[in-house]
Structure 1
Amino acid sequence: MIKLEKNQTGIASEFYVAGELGRLGYNVSVTFGNTKSIDLLVEKNGKSKAVQVKGIQTTKSICWNLDKTKVLDNIFYVLVNLHVNETNEKPEFFILSSAECLDLFTDTPKEKNKRTYLDYKKVKKLGIYQNAWGKLDSEDLEIL
């Protein structure tokens, strides 16, 4: 069984998303350093978008942990399931706007909205977010 460290999961997820966006015709810049609320800056047809990537290793990971209070407006969130233990499976991508993220959050009983998460099965079951890359073209969330 493969077990990645947290930073390995994050880096692998970011580069998978960058590769997929490049394949779809976007110009992609990976951010480093102090801009970690934004992982990728993407541009296509003269419009720039900000992307935050969150990854999990396997379906057994069950959720993406995020702090709901740190979700920023005008950012796309790409949630990735790497499927590290299923070598024949490709990563899964779920694309959400910040408003959609906020609608789907589940609060933890103890810490309420300070420690929240997005449930993998819930997001997948809805069927509207998986590989919804067209949102980046259609939604008007351009950064300045």
Structure 2
Amino acid sequence: MSVKLEKNQTGIAGEFYVAGELSRFGYNVTITFGNTKSVDLLIQKDNVVFAIQVKAIQATKSICWNIDKTKVFPNHYYVLVNLHVDHPERKPEFFVLTGNEVISLFKDTPKAGGKRAYLDYKHLLGLSVYKDRWEIFGRPSEII
């Protein structure tokens, strides 16, 4: 079964998958709403709050995640998701990065005047350090 998601469906699905994954690990998760936000999720653990921006691509064959570099903040975290809607038997893949890592890994899009950037899916897949890196937020004490 082949599915083609609209852009906003891809983004919403990515946000909910990340929220579900973090909830599964015991974090308190709040989903933010609105079209011009720079934070998709707020998570809380032991009175520490983390701001997370989620970027999703829908298919295994997707090439890259795109980002507006003017909206990347060093103190935010970024979760990049591949939903694999073209292979429903596969679970989504998650890559967790800091804002500074996003700034260093994303490459400028030539025609966008340095404002837009992208990160190649296959390149990130080869950098296994970022895959499922949920421990960057610490672990709630009740998780064993």
TM-score normalized with structure 1 length:
0.91
How far apart are residue 105 of structure 1 and its match? 0.8
The one-letter code of the counterpart of 1:56 is I
Q: Secondary structure at the match of 2:61?
A: helix
Structure 1 residues 30 and 57: CA distance shift in structure 2, 3 A: same
- Structure 1 residues 86, 34: CA separation in 2 closer, same or farther (over 3 Å shift)? closer
Long gaps (5+) in structure 1 = 139-144
- Measure, in 2, the Cα distance between the counterparts of 1:55 and 1:82: 7
Answer whether contact 1:37 1:52 (CA < 8 A) is retained: yes
AA partner of residue 105 (structure 1): F
Q: Distance in 2 between matches of 1:109 and 1:35?
A: 25
What residue in structure 1 maps to residue 107 of structure 2? 106
Aligned to 1:56: 57
Q: Any idea what the Cα deviations from partners look like across 1:49-73, whole Å, max 9, x if unmatched?
A: 0000000001222111101121012
Query: Which AA in structure 2 matches 1:62?
Result: I
Aligned position for 1:81: 82
How many aligned residue pairs are there?
A: 138
1:13 matched to 2:14? The reply is yes
Contact 1:83 1:91 (8 Å CA) reproduced: yes
RMSD: 1.4
- How far the C-alpha of 1:102 sits from its partner, in A, is 0.6
Aligned to 1:43: 44
Question: Which stretch shifts more, 107-116 or 126-135?
Answer: 107-116
Q: 25-34 or 78-87, which moves further after superposition?
A: 25-34
